[in-house]
A and B are shown apart, each in its own frame.
Chain A
Amino acid sequence: MNIAPELIHIAVALAAIAAFIGLNGLVLVWLERKVAGHIQRRPGPYEVGPWGLLQPVADAVKLVGKQLVRPKVADPWLYWSAPLLSFTPVFLLFLTIPFGPRLIGMEFNLGLLLILAFSGLNVLALCLAGWSSANKYSLLGAARAVAQSIAYEIPLLLAVLAIAFQFGTLNLSTIVHHQGPMPWQWNVMTQPLAFIIYFICAVAETNRAPFDLPEAESELTAGFHTEYSGMAFGLFFLAEYAYIIVISCVATVLFLGGWHGPGAPGFWWFLLKVYALIMVIIWLRWTYPRVRFDQLLNINWKWLLPLALVNLLLTLIFVKM
Chain B
Amino acid sequence: MLHYAQEQLQGDYYTRAFQAGAQEDTLILNMGPQHPSTHGVLRIILELHGEYILRAEPVLGYVHRMQEKMGEVKTYPQYLPNMGRVDYLHALAWNWAYVLAVEELLQLEVPERAEYIRVITCELNRITSHLLWWGAYLLDLGAFTPIMYGFADRERAMDLLQIITGSRLTYCYYSFGGVTADLTPQFIDGTKEFCKYLRTRLPMYKDLVTDNMILRHRVDDIGIIPVDMARRYGVTGPNLRGSGVEHDLRRNTPYSIYDRFDFEIPAYEECDALARYLVRMDEMEESLSIIEQAIDSLPEGPVTPPKMPKVIKPPKGEAYGAVEGARGVIGIHVISDGTATPYRIKLRSPSFSNLSLFAEVSEGILLADAVSILGSLDLVIPEIDR
Judged by a CB distance under 8 angstroms, whether A217 is at the interface is: yes
Asked whether A292 and B366 contact (CB < 8 A) given A39-B145, A218-B141, A286-B144, the answer is: yes
Q: Are A291 and B218 in contact (CB under 8 A)?
A: yes
Judged by a CB distance under 8 angstroms, whether A81 is at the interface is: no
CB closest residue in chain B, given A287 = B145
Chain B residues with CB under 8 Å of A42's CB are 148
Shortest beta-carbon distance, A209 to chain B, in Å? 6
CB closest residue in chain B, given A134 = B2
Judged by a CB distance under 8 angstroms, whether A9 is at the interface is: no
Judged by a CB distance under 8 angstroms, whether A288 is at the interface is: yes
Q: Are B35 and A221 in contact (CB under 8 A)?
A: yes
Q: Which of A109-153 contact B (CB under 8 A)?
A: 134, 136-137, 139-140, 143
Partner of B37, one of A73, A134, A219, A292: A219
Partner of A290, one of B2, B141, B148, B367: B141
Shortest beta-carbon distance, A287 to chain B, in Å? 7
Asked whether A41 and B214 contact (CB < 8 A) given A218-B141, A289-B138, the answer is: no
Partner of A295, one of B37, B142, B149, B217: B217
Partner of B143, one of A216, A289, A292: A289
Shortest beta-carbon distance, A137 to chain B, in Å? 8
Q: Are B35 and A40 in contact (CB under 8 A)?
A: no
Bound together, the chains give a CA A209 to CA B35 distance in angstroms of 20
Give chain B's interface secondary structure class: mixed
Partner of B366, one of A41, A137, A212, A293: A293
A-B contact count (CB 8 A): 79
Q: Are A289 and B214 in contact (CB under 8 A)?
A: yes
Q: Are A288 and B367 in contact (CB under 8 A)?
A: no
Q: Give 1 or 0 for each of A283-321: 1 = CB within 8 Å of chain B CB.
A: 001111111111100000000000000000000000000
CB closest residue in chain B, given A292 = B368
Judged by a CB distance under 8 angstroms, whether A54 is at the interface is: no
Asked whether A140 and B139 contact (CB < 8 A) given A134-B2, A210-B214, A289-B215, the answer is: no
Q: Give 1 or 0 for each of B366-386: 1 = CB within 8 Å of chain A CB.
A: 111101000000000000000
Interface size of B in residues (CB-CB distance below 8 Å): 31
Q: Are B218 and A292 in contact (CB under 8 A)?
A: yes
Q: Are B29 and A290 in contact (CB under 8 A)?
A: no
Chain B residues with CB under 8 Å of A288's CB are 142-143, 212, 214
Bound together, the chains give a CA A40 to CA B145 distance in angstroms of 5
Shortest beta-carbon distance, B36 to chain A, in Å? 5
Judged by a CB distance under 8 angstroms, whether A106 is at the interface is: no
Q: Are A210 and B142 in contact (CB under 8 A)?
A: yes
Bound together, the chains give a CA A202 to CA B191 distance in angstroms of 48
Shortest beta-carbon distance, B320 to chain A, in Å? 38
CB closest residue in chain A, given B149 = A41
Chain A residues with CB under 8 Å of B73's CB are none
Bound together, the chains give a CA A221 to CA B29 distance in angstroms of 12
Judged by a CB distance under 8 angstroms, whether A36 is at the interface is: yes
Bound together, the chains give a CA A289 to CA B1 distance in angstroms of 34
Scoring B138, B145, B215, B369 by chain A CB atoms within 10 A of each residue's CB, the highest score goes to B145
Judged by a CB distance under 8 angstroms, whether B283 is at the interface is: no
Asked whether A41 and B148 contact (CB < 8 A) given A140-B367, A289-B212, the answer is: yes
CB closest residue in chain B, given A220 = B367
Q: Which of B24-56 contact A (CB under 8 A)?
A: 27, 29, 35-37, 48, 50-51
Partner of A219, one of B143, B144, B145, B368: B368
Chain A residues with CB under 8 Å of B152's CB are 41
Q: Which of A259-279 contact B (CB under 8 A)?
A: none
Q: Are A289 and B2 in contact (CB under 8 A)?
A: no
CB closest residue in chain A, given B28 = A136
Chain B residues with CB under 8 Å of A41's CB are 148-149, 152
Q: Are A221 and B36 in contact (CB under 8 A)?
A: yes
Judged by a CB distance under 8 angstroms, whether B140 is at the interface is: yes
Q: Give 1 or 0 for each of A35-57: 1 = CB within 8 Å of chain B CB.
A: 01001111000000000000000
Bound together, the chains give a CA A11 to CA B321 distance in angstroms of 78
Q: Are B141 and A289 in contact (CB under 8 A)?
A: yes
Shortest beta-carbon distance, A300 to chain B, in Å? 15
Bound together, the chains give a CA A218 to CA B139 distance in angstroms of 7
CB closest residue in chain B, given A73 = B2
Chain B residues with CB under 8 Å of A294's CB are 366
Chain A residues with CB under 8 Å of B48's CB are 140
Shortest beta-carbon distance, B135 to chain A, in Å? 11
Asked whether A218 and B142 contact (CB < 8 A) given A73-B2, A291-B217, the answer is: yes
Chain B residues with CB under 8 Å of A218's CB are 36-37, 139-142, 371
Bound together, the chains give a CA A143 to CA B50 distance in angstroms of 9
Shortest beta-carbon distance, A91 to chain B, in Å? 31
Q: Are B149 and A216 in contact (CB under 8 A)?
A: no
Shortest beta-carbon distance, B66 to chain A, in Å? 30
Chain A residues with CB under 8 Å of B141's CB are 218, 289-290
Show 21 residue pairs from A and B whose CB-CB distance is below 8 angstroms, ordered by the A residue: A40-B144, A42-B148, A136-B27, A143-B50, A209-B144, A216-B368, A218-B139, A219-B37, A219-B371, A221-B35, A285-B144, A286-B145, A287-B143, A288-B143, A288-B212, A289-B142, A289-B215, A290-B141, A292-B217, A293-B51, A293-B366
Q: Which 4 A-B residue pairings sit nearest by Cβ, starting from the closest?
A: A290-B142, A40-B148, A289-B143, A218-B37
